[in-house]
Amino acid sequence: MRRLGHHRQPGKQGGGGGGKGLLAKLSIAVFVLLICTLSLLFSVSFTPITNGSTAPSKISVEELWKSANSGGWRPSSAPRSEWPSPPKETNGYLRVRCNGGLNQQRSAICNAVLAARIMNATLVLPELDANSFWHDDSGFHGLYDVEHFIQSLRFDVQIVERIPEIHKNGKTKKIKAFQLRPPRDAPISWYTTDALKKMKEHGAIYLTPFSHRLAEEIDNPEYQRLRCRVNYHALKFKPHIMKLSESIVDKLRSQGHFMAIHLRFEMDMLSFAGCFDIFTPAEQKILKKYRKENFADKTLIYKERRAIGKCPLTPEEVGLILRAMEFDNSTRIYLAAGELFGGERFMTPFRALFPRLENHSTVDASEELATNSRGLIGSAVDYMVCLLADIFMPTYDGPSNFANNLLGHRLYYGFRTNIRPDRKGLAPVFIARENGRTAGFEEAVRHVMLKTNFGGPHKRISPESFYTNSWPECFCQMETQNPAHKCPENVMQNLHSQLESENMGLERYNRSDSRVSSAER
């Protein structure tokens, strides 16, 4: 019996029938290839991307309470190549005024130290802007351990608390710093040309304002590691702030694990985002007025902003995400937040899902926190509690310096678990729920969240900031074939030896110079 489709008439090697058959086969092949391609694209678009680490197939709450998989990496900001100690004679003094809130100032301090290193300048203890959003005049001395800061960076830059007076011929002269306004995200070349020129002319320069005034992406791993040394080692809060923070953490942890959430649902961020429609007409008027007074004029359409994930999550949405991830109502949550806009009506749904909510005032009713809860000290305590929490969840990590710095610090602190909602991915899920399509809601939320990073090492991709993710520059591996990633050995011993050697060389030079001067006399 002949097989259908395989019969060929004798003597006909390529007639019209054969051509049609071939064409039909090619059409089927193309169709199958197209289907396979579409299937592949569909599967790729829904595959969790973890930058090399194994993607979880489901969310495990028990695993989230632990630190993320380090992949053999450990934090290390020590120099890995030749790093000379700062010379005794510098090119002049560098003053900076760090504006903004606590964490914007923190990043500016890191940049100031690096700028001083680049220019071979003596850094004057950075000034913290008292006229910023916080209206807080705590200053550097009121927040940070100054002695620790100077001592920690002794191998990197010279630091003084103020520009010293010059005593010459029985007269006292003050050095007046020349004021400059650095370009935003200025390249290193601006500091080694324009800024350095003025420093040499005047003996000192004063850079103001100094927020985001040095480029973040610098093709020099040692410079980036210096930023990490400042941020994660030198900038230590004063003992009383650390004690307050540790007391709160101890009380929270006395009953088991706890999660910290940075609930960014305040007037300034809502105005910045342009997300007004969920508020009453009176509240919208307040938000629009604040936006007009503080941000550039721009037409923002709520539905469009919401659809692309530009709106901060509401407290209820935060609760729904956590519930979909199978956290139950016994979960203890610490809220780091300012005054929530819209009042209790936005918190009620969240509180119904997770009743065990705390903040620094409810856990520790000390007088210092009561009087500084909205200032830099309250923010510093919130920062430390969020750093030490088992899990940290920022609800709006776009332009939030607080959230971004914490994400980077927790990564450096040992890949501590972070829950970072993909607002753009979650937007259609929430919009569908609001339109009555609730079937499969929790599964859809889990599907989006499975594709996020929970705190492990991952490649930094713009617009992610270096302060949010300093991997790989500020991390190393004990076992690796790549020398650039190898953990350095005997770092402090080598730096001490180098500093002693340079000091001995300087003393020999001074003695020799003194003998020459005597002979000349």
Handedness of CA 85, 91, 93, 98 (dihedral sign): negative
What's the confidence (pLDDT) of residue 405? 95
Q: Which residues contact 183 (CB under 8 A, 6 or more apart)?
A: 190, 213
Please choose, from the candidates 393, 407, 381, 416, the residue with its C-alpha nearest in 3D space to the C-alpha of residue 107.
Answer: 407
DSSP 8-state class, residue 273: H
Please choose, from the candidates 159, 177, 316, 166, the residue with its C-alpha nearest in 3D space to the C-alpha of residue 235.
Answer: 159
Please choose, from the candidates 402, 273, 265, 394, the residue with its C-alpha nearest in 3D space to the C-alpha of residue 338.
Answer: 265
Q: How many degrees, rounded to 5, is the angle at CA 426 between CA 420 and CA 430?
A: 130
What's the confidence (pLDDT) of residue 93? 98
Per the DSSP assignment, residues forming a β-bridge with 258 are: none
Dihedral angle of Cα 23, 24, 29, 30, to the nearest 10 degrees: 70
What Cα–Cα distance (Å) separates residue 462 from each residue in 7, 224, 391, 468?
61, 16, 24, 11
Helix (H, G, I), strand (E, B) or coil at 268: helix
Helix (H, G, I), strand (E, B) or coil at 507: helix
Handedness of CA 192, 195, 201, 202 (dihedral sign): negative
Dihedral angle of Cα 457, 224, 208, 398, to the nearest 10 degrees: -10
**CA 74 to CA 145: how far, in whole Å?**
26
CA 125 remoteness from chain centre = 23
Dihedral angle of Cα 397, 262, 317, 370, to the nearest 10 degrees: -150
What value does the CA radius of gyration of the chain take, rounded to a whole number of Å? 30
What Cα–Cα distance (Å) separates residue 229 from each residue in 75, 156, 176, 323?
11, 10, 30, 38
End-to-end CA distance of the chain: 123
CA 248 remoteness from chain centre = 24
**CA 165 to CA 222: how far, in whole Å?**
33
**CA 19 to CA 407: how far, in whole Å?**
64
What's the confidence (pLDDT) of residue 423? 95
pTM of structure: 0.82
**CA 441 to CA 143: how far, in whole Å?**
45
Q: Which residues contact 349 (CB under 8 A, 6 or more apart)?
A: 315, 316, 319
Please choose, from the candidates 139, 333, 143, the residue with its C-alpha nearest in 3D space to the C-alpha of residue 242.
Answer: 143
**CA 372 to CA 388: how far, in whole Å?**
21
- Per DSSP, the residues of 92-146 read -EEEEEE-SSHHHHHHHHHHHHHHHHHHT-EEE-PEEPTTSTT----HHHHHB-H
The tally of CA atoms less than 13 A away on the side-chain side of residue 166 is 10
Per-residue pLDDT of the chain (521 residues; tens, 9 = 90+): 333 333 333 333 334 444 444 334 434 343 333 333 333 333 333 333 334 444 556 899 999 999 999 999 999 999 999 999 999 899 999 999 998 888 999 999 999 999 999 999 999 999 998 755 556 667 899 999 999 999 999 999 999 999 998 877 778 888 999 999 999 999 999 999 999 999 999 999 999 999 999 999 999 999 999 999 999 999 999 999 999 999 999 999 999 999 999 998 999 999 999 999 999 999 999 999 999 999 988 888 989 999 999 999 999 999 999 999 999 999 999 999 878 898 899 999 999 999 999 998 888 766 666 555 557 788 899 999 999 999 999 998 766 789 999 999 999 999 999 999 999 999 999 999 999 999 999 999 999 999 999 999 999 998 899 999 999 999 999 999 898 899 998 766 665 555 555 555 445 434 444 443 443 33
What's the confidence (pLDDT) of residue 19? 44
Q: Where are the alpha helices (DSSP H) in 171-300?
A: 188-190, 196-202, 221-229, 239-253, 267-273, 281-294
Q: 394 and 407 in contact (C-beta within 8 Å)?
A: yes
Handedness of CA 408, 131, 236, 495 (dihedral sign): positive
What's the confidence (pLDDT) of residue 173? 85
Q: 220 and 247 in contact (C-beta within 8 Å)?
A: no
Helix (H, G, I), strand (E, B) or coil at 168: strand
